[in-house]
């Protein structure tokens, strides 16, 4: 129990040993903590969610790439082919890591290492996807086709990041490289126009949505898998209190 100056009469009649025990118990009280760290089980649960939801995000990027290459960029077969090779080569590597983890291969026994590998390959996929904003938008492209391409890419980027919201760094890796390229292409093509500001606003709104989903996922994981280990300071404090009680009873 902490020593309080507001109630000095509570300490009247205490022996020196009892006062020492009270002071030691009060000094060993754990400091107030802010954000509670997630338990290991909660983190593993989020990694499992990442491996399950991430496949949908990769499929969304693949579908958007196929649609853009076949519709807005149909008049640029060489550029579209180069972009498709970049996209699907990086997607193959990323999906292979994901399948190995879901299949229970050797890497599945090290989930945190797998997550690091997955984040790195996901950043490559995002960079390859964002490269299409420059490859498919030469000066000869009509403004309407350029707007369609950039709008589709922005929507796909936000969706892919949302599917990786179970791990914040994965969401950043999925969205940031591609969005930076898309926003840069919009600024280079249309300048400081209303469309460029619309792309930036869509990216900001998408980032806020992804952060909200990530926070909610962490809250649910923490509620489902709470921390069960006691802090060492709390255990030592309880043991010291028991010894003090025993000494007072013996005296």
Q: With a cut of 50, say whether residue 5 has pLDDT above it.
A: no
| pLDDT tens-digit series, residues 164-174 | 999 999 999 99
Query: In this predicted structure, which of 113-122, 157-166, 236-245 has the lowest mean pLDDT?
Result: 236-245
In this prediction, residue 176 has a pLDDT band, given cuts at 50, 70 and 90, of very high
Q: Report angle CA 197, 203, 204 to the nearest 5 degrees.
A: 90
Residue with more model confidence, 236 or 53: 53
Q: Where are the domains of the chain?
A: 8-30+231-250, 40-224
Return the structure tokens found at 141.
């492209």
Mean pLDDT of 32-40: 65
Alpha-carbon torsion, ordered 121, 123, 124, 125, to 10 deg = 90
| pLDDT tens-digit series, residues 47-97 | 888 988 988 999 999 999 999 988 888 888 898 899 999 999 999 988 888
Which ranges of the chain does DSSP label H, i.e. alpha helix?
Answer: 16-27, 40-70, 77-103, 111-135, 143-163, 168-190, 194-224, 232-250
Q: With a cut of 80, say whether residue 34 has pLDDT above it.
A: no
Length of the chain: 251
Count of CB atoms situated within 10 Å of the CB of 7: 8
Mean pLDDT of 170-192: 92
* pLDDT value, residue 32: 45
């Amino acid at each position: 129990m902490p020593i309080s100056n507001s109630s000095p009469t509570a300490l009247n009649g205490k022996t020196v040993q009892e006062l020492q025990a009270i002071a030691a118990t009060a000094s060993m009280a754990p400091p107030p903590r802010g954000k509670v760290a997630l338990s290991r089980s909660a983190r593993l649960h989020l990694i499992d969610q990442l491996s399950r939801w991430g496949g949908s995000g990769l499929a969304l990027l693949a579908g958007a790439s196929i649609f853009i290459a076949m519709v807005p960029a149909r008049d640029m077969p060489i550029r579209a082919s180069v972009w498709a090779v970049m996209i699907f080569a990086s997607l193959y590597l990323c999906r292979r890591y994901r399948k190995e983890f879901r299949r229970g291969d050797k890497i599945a026994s090290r989930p945190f290492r797998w997550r690091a590998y997955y984040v790195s390959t996901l950043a490559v996929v995002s960079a390859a996807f964002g490269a299409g904003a420059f490859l498919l938008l030469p000066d000869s492209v009509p403004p309407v086709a350029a707007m369609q391409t950039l709008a589709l890419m922005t929507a796909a980027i936000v969706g892919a990041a949302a599917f990786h919201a179970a791990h914040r760094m994965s969401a950043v890796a999925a969205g940031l490289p591609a969005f930076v390229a898309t926003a840069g292409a919009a600024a280079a093509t249309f300048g400081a126009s209303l469309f460029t500001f619309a792309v930036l606003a869509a990216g900001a709104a998408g980032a806020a949505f992804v952060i909200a989903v990530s926070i909610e996922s962490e809250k649910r994981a923490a509620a489902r898998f709470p921390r069960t280990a006691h802090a060492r300071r709390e255990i030592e404090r309880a043991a010291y209190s028991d010894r003090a009680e025993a000494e007072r009873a013996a005296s």
